[in-house]
């Protein structure tokens, strides 16, 4: 082989290795699973029939992420709702399907989008954790736990 | 009256109340005078007298205009089956109460939630719900007609909407917080979003100017 042939041969191997490397990696970058950041449920009075849950749902994948169902063994039902305030009047809008774009995220926060947890099956204390499961349109499921907290403005632990 | 009919009547009354409330709210907001450039609160140039009403607090005591005199009162309108806005606001108001603890007792506000769902929110229900956020908070409920008298007087709107729960409805309601002065008159309206820092600064400013 001439010197040039060797160079071409080496370049060919390098390309092949690179191609194999990309082939091995790309399905993972496409299918990186959904993530939940900082989930919490607002601690409510013992007779509250409804609680609200907050979190950030991240979609690091390459395809849109469509949340189609939420469930918890500790509640009769869980729905995604959004609080809207129009002319000072607060109303709740159901969001039966929520789509998070590739690389995007959906914020669930007080006064905005939230999980509406209806019909608790047991009383909850501060710091207890609630099991939740998200189901997506592609059939994927994501189980996580959310602690019960008083919330950012919760008066009892406010420092001065 | 049977239950569906009663609900229908209440729904109709509530819709009328909502329309009246929104009209009044616009009228009030048409004549505002800001307390200063850095305030978000709507401060009424001429505090407005409230109508006579008779409700019940969560300890079964009468709650009428006399309970609004002699100290500053922050009124919020909500209901116990409200998952997001009401607990969020009550938590914020609990934070505000703590932030204002350095004020003389006479200048610290009484914080009261009036139910816009009096059919479900009995005084007993409120006695479990409201003090959970702060032991000093007061919960108020009563006859629908008396609730409407107060909400109309303040420009608070609320309306019932069908919902897939046991009772078949949920309540849309004004989420603003209303400040009543020690003479029992509407002095200011804090619209959403509510933050402890803003409310703290604005409340002090208003009380200092009007106290």
Instruction: Please report the pLDDT score of residue B33 as a whole number.
Output: 43
Instruction: Please report the pLDDT score of residue B4 as a whole number.
Output: 59
Token pair in block for residue B81: 């089956």
Task: Kindly state the helix (H) or strand (E) to which residue B25 belongs, with its residue range.
Answer: helix B3-29
Instruction: Please report the pLDDT score of residue B13 as a whole number.
Output: 60
Lowest-pLDDT range of B11-15, B81-85, B176-180: B11-15
Q: Which residue of A has its CA nearest to B192?
A: A88
Residue B198 sits at the chain A interface (C-beta within 8 Å)? no
Same domain, A14 and A43: no
Count of domains observed in chain A: 2
pLDDT in tens, B57-68: 999 999 999 999
What share of chain B in percent tops pLDDT 70?
81
Name the band, by pLDDT with cuts 50, 70 and 90, for residue B198. very high
Of B159, B172, B167, B119, the closest CA to residue B12 belongs to: B159
Place of tokens 């409201």: B130
Lowest-pLDDT range of A62-71, A75-84, B24-33, B148-157: B24-33
Residue A160, domain member (yes or no): no
- Residue A23, number of CB atoms within 10 A of its CB: 9
**Is A12's pLDDT higher than 70?**
no
Q: Which residues contact B24 (CB under 8 A, 6 or more apart)?
A: B152, B154, B155
Phi/psi of residue B139, nearest 5 degrees: -105, 140
Residues 105-134 of B with CB under 8 A from A: 125, 128-130, 132-134
Q: What is the rounded average pLDDT of the residues B92-116?
A: 97
Instruction: Please report the pLDDT score of residue A39 as a whole number.
Output: 97
Predicted TM-score (pTM) of this structure: 0.81
Name the band, by pLDDT with cuts 50, 70 and 90, for residue A3. low
Instruction: Please report the pLDDT score of residue A27 as a whole number.
Output: 47
Same domain, A143 and A98: yes
**Is A4's pLDDT higher than 80?**
no
Same domain, A14 and A50: no
**Is B129's pLDDT higher than 90?**
yes
Same domain, A40 and A25: no
Q: Which residues contact A39 (CB under 8 A, 6 or more apart)?
A: A53, A54, A55, A132, A144, A145, A146, A147
CATH number at residue A58: 2.60.40.1890
Name the band, by pLDDT with cuts 50, 70 and 90, for residue B210. confident
Same domain, A90 and A128: yes
pLDDT in tens, A28-58: 456 789 999 999 999 999 999 899 999 999 9
What share of chain B in percent tops pLDDT 90?
75
Q: Find which of A81, A155, A156, A157 to mutate to test the B interface (most B CBs within 10 Å of its CB).
A: A155
> Contact at 8 Å (CB) between A31 and A76?
no
Domain ranges in chain B? 3-210
Cβ contact (<8 Å) for A50 and B88?
Answer: no
Residue B157 sits at the chain A interface (C-beta within 8 Å)? yes
Average of per-residue pLDDT values in chain B: 88
Place of tokens 């907290």: A149
Q: How far is B159 from chain A (nearest CA, A)?
A: 9
> Contact at 8 Å (CB) between A148 and A131?
no
Same domain, A42 and A114: yes
Instruction: Please report the pLDDT score of residue A21 as a whole number.
Output: 55
Name the band, by pLDDT with cuts 50, 70 and 90, for residue A160. very low
Q: Which residue of B has its CA nearest to A82?
A: B84
Same domain, A15 and A45: no
Same domain, A59 and A89: yes
Residue B15 sits at the chain A interface (C-beta within 8 Å)? no
Helix axes B123-133, B85-99, angle to 10 degrees: 50
Cβ contact (<8 Å) for A155 and B97?
Answer: yes
**Out of B88, B157, B196, whose CB is closest to A89?**
B157
Question: Chains A and B: how many Cβ contacts under 8 Å?
Answer: 113
Same domain, A115 and A66: yes
Q: How far is B54 from chain A (nearest CA, A)?
A: 24
pLDDT in tens, B14-66: 565 666 655 555 555 444 444 444 557 999 999 999 999 999 999 999 999 99
Q: What is the CATH number of domain B3-210?
A: 3.40.30.10
Question: In a 3-state reduction of DSSP, which class is residue A160?
Answer: coil
* Buried residues in B172-206 as b, exposed as e (16+ CB within 10 A): bbbbbbbbbbbebbbbbbbbbebbbebbebbbbbb
Cis check: omega of the bond before B193, within 30 degrees of 0: yes
Q: Which residues contact B131 (CB under 8 A, 6 or more apart)?
A: B58, B137, B139
> Contact at 8 Å (CB) between B79 and B113?
no
Q: What is the rounded average pLDDT of the residues A6-10?
A: 64
Instruction: Please report the pLDDT score of residue B160 as a whole number.
Output: 95
Place of tokens 């608790």: A120
**Is B139's pLDDT higher than 90?**
yes
Exposed, middle or buried: residue A96 (CB in 10 Å: 0-12, 13-18, 19+)? exposed
Lowest-pLDDT range of A116-120, A150-154, B102-106: A150-154
d(CA A120, CA A136): 23
Let me know the angle formed at the C-alpha of B168 by B166 and B171, rounded to the nearest 5 degrees. 110
Q: Find which of B88, B109, B191 to mutate to test the A interface (most A CBs within 10 Å of its CB).
A: B88
Name the band, by pLDDT with cuts 50, 70 and 90, for residue A151. confident
d(CA B5, CA B3): 5
Average of per-residue pLDDT values in chain A: 85
Instruction: Please report the pLDDT score of residue A116 as a whole number.
Output: 95
Same domain, A17 and A92: no
**Out of B25, B84, B94, whose CB is closest to A153?**
B94
Cβ contact (<8 Å) for B174 and A48?
Answer: no
> Contact at 8 Å (CB) between A74 and A67?
no
What share of chain A in percent tops pLDDT 90?
68
Residue A99, domain member (yes or no): yes
Residue A101, domain member (yes or no): yes
> With contacts defined as CB-CB under 8 Å, which chain A residues touch B22?
87, 89
Q: How far is A149 from chain B (nearest CA, A)?
A: 11
Whether ipTM tops 0.90, in short, is no
Domain membership of residue A76 as a residue range: 35-152
Instruction: Please report the pLDDT score of residue B23 as a whole number.
Output: 57
Residue A159, domain member (yes or no): no
**Is B176's pLDDT higher than 60?**
yes
**Out of B129, B130, B196, whose CB is closest to A153?**
B196
d(CA B16, CA A66): 40
């Amino acid at each position: 082989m001439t010197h040039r042939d060797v160079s071409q041969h080496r370049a060919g191997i390098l390309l092949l290795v690179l191609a194999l490397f990309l082939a091995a990696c790309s399905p993972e970058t496409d299918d990186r699973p959904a993530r939940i950041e900082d989930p919490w449920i607002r601690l409510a009075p013992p007779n509250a029939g409804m609680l609200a849950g907050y979190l950030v749902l991240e979609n690091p994948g390459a395809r849109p992420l469509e949340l189609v169902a939420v469930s918890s063994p500790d509640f009769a039902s869980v729905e995604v709702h959004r609080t809207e305030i129009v002319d000072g009047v607060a109303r709740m809008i159901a969001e039966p399907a929520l789509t998070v774009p590739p690389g995007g995220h959906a914020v669930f926060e007080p006064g905005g989008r939230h999980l509406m947890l209806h019909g608790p099956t047991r009383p909850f204390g501060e710091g207890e954790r609630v099991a939740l499961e998200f189901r997506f349109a592609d059939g994927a499921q994501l189980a996580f736990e959310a602690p019960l907290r008083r919330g950012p403005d919760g008066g009892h632990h406010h420092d001065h | 009256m049977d239950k569906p009919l009663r609900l229908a009547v209440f729904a109709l009354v509530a819709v009328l109340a909502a329309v009246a409330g929104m009209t009044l709210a616009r009228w009030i907001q048409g004549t505002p005078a800001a307390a200063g450039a850095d305030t978000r609160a709507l401060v009424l140039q001429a505090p407005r007298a409230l109508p006579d009403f008779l409700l019940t607090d969560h300890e079964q005591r009468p709650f009428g205009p006399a309970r609004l005199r002699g100290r500053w009162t922050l009124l919020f309108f909500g209901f116990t089956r409200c998952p997001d806005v009401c607990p969020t606001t009550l938590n914020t108001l609990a934070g505000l109460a703590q932030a204002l603890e350095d004020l003389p007792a006479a200048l610290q506000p009484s914080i009261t939630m009036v139910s816009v769902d009096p059919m479900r929110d009995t005084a007993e229900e409120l006695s479990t719900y409201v003090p959970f956020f702060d032991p000093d908070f007061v919960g108020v409920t009563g006859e629908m007609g008396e609730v409407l008298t107060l909400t109309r007087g303040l420009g608070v709107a609320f309306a019932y909407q069908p919902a897939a729960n046991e009772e078949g409805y949920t309540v849309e309601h004004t989420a603003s917080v209303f400040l009543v002065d020690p003479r029992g008159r509407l002095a200011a309206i804090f619209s959403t979003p509510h933050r402890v820092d803003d409310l703290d600064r604005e409340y002090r400013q208003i009380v200092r100017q009007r106290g």
